[in-house]
Structure 1
Amino acid sequence: MAGVTSNTPYVLVLYYSRSGQTAEMAAQIARGIAREGGMEARLRTVPPVSPDTSAGLPDIPDQGAPYCSKEDLRHCAALAIGSPTRFGNMAAPLKHFLDGTGDLWISGALTGKPAGAFTSTGSLHGGQESTILSMMLPLLHHGMLLCGVPYSEQALNNTTAGGTPYGPSHWAGTDKPRPLTGDEKAICQTFGQRLAGLAIKLQT
């Protein structure tokens, strides 16, 4: 995943994570992408935003995935975006990044590429579905083809934690972080594999 070359088709897994739960979901999605031959996973994150406009961060984060560039987005074969829930919507850092992609919208760089969304929430009913659905709006504006999780994935029927047909979700907990369940991992991996498979079909 880290050694992706410019000639290798890839699914961009773009996420923002504060506590590490959304990052773990991204890693599970990348595992699913790897199951589909001929497609790589490129993990990227976005920096936090600050009300202090003079605040600055290094170009490369101290740990975790590198920061996403618009070139990463421009050249992806498919896209998965992930964020913790913020009042039923995506977190500001991810929206800030997407708000800056108007030039890609004008050029149609993402039109016709498959895409989907994933999220983690502190509470079980903390806006998982509304967050995923609201994250799909910029994808639709970019002309992307939406991908969810079909009920042929048995974990979607069995889960007692996160998991929606609109995209993977995780019940992260509030008092003590809850690890991803086996069902949540399976849903993430199915989602990643499905995105990669759709990207391959659309390229042929």
Structure 2
Amino acid sequence: MADVLILYYSRFGATAAMAEQIAHGVESVAGASARVRTVPPVSTVCEAVADDIPASGPPYVERDELAACDALALGSPTRFGNMAAPLKYLLDGTSDLWLGGTLAGRPAAVFTSTASMHGGQETTLTSMTLPLLHHGMYLVGLPYTESALRETTTGGTPYGASHYAGPDSDRPLDDDEARLCRALGARLADAAVTLERGRA
């Protein structure tokens, strides 16, 4: 069974909703299972103490879960056209995995949510791909054979799934955005299963 880790940071819930849809896509592929995890916020003071378990939603990712996953979907809201600090903080601490080539040869995908229509969806997605490329991962995107990518008027890019959450960050995923999230999850899972079979 290919273990697909869906790892994200979400402040208002939009990116979390995308992660759920991606998990549905992963679970639609025989031989793949989804593991949804999040990361804690970073502190604005020098040192902070937070609970080891979030108040709601999926648990925080464990280091071993990242090292052991067969595929990775990485999600973040947009922060000035870049990934959010909590996700960047996590990735900045993975140099030992990079040195050991732990994630090399595994498939990965990215997803994001923005409060404005032109809020940097594509630059945020590409910013998340940079550390994944350094880790030697294979990137999985969304081809235009996905009809929702041609029909969407809000979120959706060939670089990964995206969502327009609106100025109050309360706009739910529309049908096209949800379909593209599921399609991305299914493509990632299919790549993971195919690679696992090749290694067997």
The TM-score bracket by the shorter chain reads over 0.9
Unaligned segments of structure 1, at least 5 residues: 1-7
Q: What TM-score, normalized to structure 2?
A: 0.97
Identical-residue share of aligned pairs (%): 59
Q: Secondary structure at the match of 1:33?
A: helix
What is the aligned residue count? 197
Deviation at 1:9, TM superposition (A): 2.7
> CA 1:43 to 1:176, structure 2 compared with 1: closer, same or farther past 3 Å?
closer
- Is residue 68 from structure 1 mapped to residue 61 from structure 2 by the alignment? yes
> CA 1:175 to 1:58, structure 2 compared with 1: closer, same or farther past 3 Å?
closer
Deviation at 1:54, TM superposition (A): 2.4
1:86 equivalent in structure 2: 79
1:45 equivalent in structure 2: 38
Q: 2:179 aligns with which of 170, 183, 186?
A: 186
1:119 equivalent in structure 2: 112
Deviation at 1:116, TM superposition (A): 1.2
Aligned counterparts, 1:90-109, within 5 A: 90-109=83-102
**Contact 2:2 2:189 survives alignment (8 Å):** no
Deviation at 1:176, TM superposition (A): 5.8
> CA 1:176 to 1:54, structure 2 compared with 1: closer, same or farther past 3 Å?
closer
Deviations 1:119-148 (A, max 9, x none): 000000000000001110000000000000
Deviation at 1:69, TM superposition (A): 1.4
2:163 equivalent in structure 1: 170
Q: Secondary structure at the match of 2:83?
A: coil
1:149 equivalent in structure 2: 142
- Is residue 26 from structure 1 mapped to residue 24 from structure 2 by the alignment? no
CA distance in 2, matches of 1:175, 1:66: 26
* CA RMSD across the alignment: 0.8
2:49 equivalent in structure 1: 56
Deviation at 1:175, TM superposition (A): 3.3
